[in-house]
């Protein structure tokens, strides 16, 4: 069983920064592709950023390119999302997710952490 626990959300003014963390249980973290998703009220859950098992490949939604950075520390079983130049439209619940089977689908999810950006 894989468990994911996010932290680091909160209230920040537009233009500010936050860093989200996601600690993943299990001995195979270093083999998992990971991603961050977000869901705003009344909207679908969308992918924000993804990272390969090694950290050598990353991808981003167009809306966050140049502002957000995904990274991982396999020694700490942790994936991060550094969010800079935050905008009110970044307000959402942020979830980390794990592709434990390496099939391109995320099968384990965290409980989410709220990010609120005030204007």
How confident is the model over 2-58, as pLDDT tens digits?
999 999 999 999 999 999 999 999 778 888 999 999 999 999 999 999 999 999 999
CB 81 within 8 A of CB 70: yes
Q: Does 104 score more than 90 pLDDT?
A: no
pLDDT at residue 26, as a whole number: 79
The span from the CA of 104 to the CA of 51, in Å, is: 12
Q: Does 1 score more than 90 pLDDT?
A: no
pLDDT at residue 31, as a whole number: 86
Conformational region of residue 66, where left means phi above 0, alpha means psi within -120 to 50, and beta covers everything else: left
Joined together, the tokens standing for residue 101 give 């089977």
The span from the CA of 106 to the CA of 98, in Å, is: 5
């Amino acid at each position: 069983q894989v468990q994911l626990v996010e932290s680091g959300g909160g209230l920040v003014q537009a233009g500010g920064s936050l860093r989200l963390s996601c600690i993943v249980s299990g001995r195979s973290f270093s083999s998992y592709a990971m991603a961050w998703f977000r869901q705003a009220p009344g909207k679908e859950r969308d992918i924000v950023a993804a990272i390969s098992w090694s950290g050598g490949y990353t991808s981003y939604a167009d809306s966050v390119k140049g502002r957000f950075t995904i990274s991982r520390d396999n020694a700490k079983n942790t994936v991060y999302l550094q969010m800079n130049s935050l905008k009110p439209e970044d307000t959402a619940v942020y979830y980390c997710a794990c592709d434990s089977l390496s099939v391109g689908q995320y099968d384990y999810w965290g409980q989410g952490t709220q990010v609120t950006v005030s204007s």
